[in-house]
Chain A
Amino acid sequence: MAGPLDGAARGAGASRPATPEDAVLGLSPRLVFEPASEAEAVEAMQACARDGLRVLVVGGGTDLALGHAPAAVDAVLRTGRLTGVVEHSPHDQIVRALAGTTLAALQAHLAPHGQRLALDPPFPSRATLGGLVCANGFGPLRASRGSTRDLVIGATLVRADGVLARGGGKVVKNVAGFDLPRLLVGSLGTLGLLTTVNFRLHPLPEAQATVRFGGLGAAGVRRVVKAVLAAQVEPAALAAHLGAEGGPLALGVRFEGFGPGVAGQVERLLAAATQGGLPGDRLDEPAAAAFWAEHASARERGPFRARLAAPPAAAEAMAASLEALVRALPGGSAGWYPTLGLGFAGGAPAGAAAVAASLGAARQALGALGGSVVVSAAPEAVRAALDPWGAPPAAPVLALMRRLKAQLDPEGRLAPGRMVGGI
Chain B
Amino acid sequence: MEPLSEAARADLAHRMAAVVGAAHVVTDPAELLVYECDGLTHGRTRPDLVVLPASTAEAAEVVKLAAAAGLPIVPRGAGTGLSGGARPVPGCVVVSLARMRRILEVDLENGWVRVEPGVINLDVTRAVAGAGWYYAPDPSSQGVCTIGGNVAENSGGAHCLKYGFTTNHVLSARLVLDDGTVADLGGPVADGPGYDLLAALVGSEGMLGLVTEVTLRLLRKPEATRTFLAIFPSTDEAGEAVSQIIAAGILPAAIEMMDSLAIKAAKAATGLGWPEDCALLLMDADGPAPEVEHVHRRAGEIARACGARDVQVPRDEAERQLMWKGRKSAFAAVGRISPNYLVEDGVIPRSEIAAVLREIGRLASGAGLRVANVFHAGDGNLHPLVLYDAANPGEEARAAALGGDILRLCIRVGGSITGEHGVGAEKAAYMAEQFGPDDLETMMRVRCAFDGAARFNPGKVFPTPRLCGEKPGPYLPHPAEAAGLAERW
Q: Quick check: B438 and A164 within 8 Å, CB to CB?
A: yes
Whether a CB of chain B sits under 8 angstroms from the CB of A244 is no
- Given A176-B417, A406-B449, verify A393-B194 contact (CB < 8 Å): yes
- Residue among A90, A178, A407, A420 making CB contact with B473, cutoff 8 Å: A407
Whether a CB of chain B sits under 8 angstroms from the CB of A370 is yes
Whether a CB of chain A sits under 8 angstroms from the CB of B401 is no
Whether a CB of chain A sits under 8 angstroms from the CB of B282 is no
Within 8 A of B (CB), among A133-174: 136, 146-147, 149-150, 157, 159, 161, 163-167, 169-174
Within 8 A of A (CB), among B222-241: 222-223
Whether a CB of chain B sits under 8 angstroms from the CB of A351 is no
Q: Quick check: B193 and A179 within 8 Å, CB to CB?
A: no
Whether a CB of chain A sits under 8 angstroms from the CB of B394 is no
- Given A170-B349, A260-B290, verify A183-B449 contact (CB < 8 Å): no
Q: Using an 8 Å CB-CB cutoff, how does the interface string of B211-255 with A read, 1 for contact, 0 for none?
A: 000000000101100000000000000000001001101110000
Q: Quick check: A177 and B249 within 8 Å, CB to CB?
A: no
- Given A146-B168, A258-B294, verify A183-B199 contact (CB < 8 Å): yes
Contacts of A169 in B (CB 8 A): 414-416, 434
Contacts of B439 in A (CB 8 A): 165-167, 177
- Residue among A172, A177, A372 making CB contact with B189, cutoff 8 Å: A372
Within 8 A of A (CB), among B345-387: 347-351, 376, 379-381
The segment from A246-254, A272-280, A396-404 found at the interface with B is A396-404
Q: Quick check: A401 and B414 within 8 Å, CB to CB?
A: no
Query: Which of A136, A177, A232, A390 lies at the interface centre, i.e. has the most chain B CB atoms within 10 A of its CB?
Result: A177
The segment from B121-129, B177-185, B269-277 found at the interface with A is B177-185
Q: Determine the distance from Cα of A310 to Cα of B350 in the docked complex, in whole angstroms.
A: 38
Query: Which of A93, A94, A342 lies at the interface centre, i.e. has the most chain B CB atoms within 10 A of its CB?
Result: A93
* Size category of the binding interface on chain A: 35 or more
- Residue among A262, A307, A400, A423 making CB contact with B449, cutoff 8 Å: A400
Q: B59: shortest Cβ distance to chain A, in Å? A: 15
Q: Determine the distance from Cα of A206 to Cα of B445 in the docked complex, in whole angstroms.
A: 45
Q: Determine the distance from Cα of A392 to Cα of B194 in the docked complex, in whole angstroms.
A: 8
* Size category of the binding interface on chain B: 35 or more
Whether a CB of chain B sits under 8 angstroms from the CB of A185 is yes
Contacts of B187 in A (CB 8 A): 370
Whether a CB of chain A sits under 8 angstroms from the CB of B289 is yes
Q: Determine the distance from Cα of A408 to Cα of B472 in the docked complex, in whole angstroms.
A: 10
Contacts of A381 in B (CB 8 A): none
Whether a CB of chain B sits under 8 angstroms from the CB of A410 is yes
- Given A167-B443, A406-B474, A410-B472, verify A374-B422 contact (CB < 8 Å): no
How many residue pairs between the two chains, A and B, have CB atoms under 8 Å in the bound complex? 282
Q: Quick check: B473 and A410 within 8 Å, CB to CB?
A: yes
Q: Quick check: A173 and B165 within 8 Å, CB to CB?
A: yes
Contacts of A307 in B (CB 8 A): 191
Contacts of B193 in A (CB 8 A): 372, 374, 389-390, 392-393, 420
Whether a CB of chain B sits under 8 angstroms from the CB of A218 is no
Q: B68: shortest Cβ distance to chain A, in Å? A: 20
Q: Determine the distance from Cα of A337 to Cα of B259 in the docked complex, in whole angstroms.
A: 45
Whether a CB of chain A sits under 8 angstroms from the CB of B200 is yes
Q: Quick check: B194 and A398 within 8 Å, CB to CB?
A: yes
Q: Using an 8 Å CB-CB cutoff, how does the interface string of B105-147 with A read, 1 for contact, 0 for none?
A: 0010111000000000000000000000000000000000000
Q: Determine the distance from Cα of A423 to Cα of B449 in the docked complex, in whole angstroms.
A: 14
- Given A374-B193, A407-B473, verify A312-B288 contact (CB < 8 Å): no
Contacts of A407 in B (CB 8 A): 445-446, 448-449, 473-474
Q: B377: shortest Cβ distance to chain A, in Å? A: 11
Q: Quick check: A396 and B202 within 8 Å, CB to CB?
A: no
The segment from B50-58, B152-160, B260-268, B315-323 found at the interface with A is B152-160
Contacts of A303 in B (CB 8 A): none
Q: A180: shortest Cβ distance to chain B, in Å? A: 7
Whether a CB of chain A sits under 8 angstroms from the CB of B196 is yes
Contacts of B156 in A (CB 8 A): 173, 175
Residue in B closest to A369 when the chains form the complex, CB atoms: B189
- Residue among B161, B251, B290 making CB contact with A264, cutoff 8 Å: B290
Whether a CB of chain A sits under 8 angstroms from the CB of B343 is no
| A residues neighboring B (CB under 8 Å) | 89-94, 114, 136, 146-147, 149-150, 157, 159, 161, 163-167, 169-180, 182-183, 185-187, 191, 202-206, 229, 232-234, 257-265, 268, 307, 309-313, 340-342, 369-372, 374, 389-390, 392-394, 396-401, 403-408, 410, 419-421, 423
| B residues neighboring A (CB under 8 Å) | 107, 109-111, 153-154, 156, 160-161, 164-165, 167-168, 177, 181-185, 187-197, 199-200, 202-204, 220, 222-223, 243, 246-247, 249-251, 287-295, 298, 347-351, 376, 379-381, 414-423, 427, 431, 434-436, 438-443, 445-450, 452, 461, 472-474
Given contacts A183-B199, A203-B251, 6 further A-B contacts (CB under 8 A): A172-B161, A176-B423, A186-B195, A232-B289, A311-B110, A371-B189
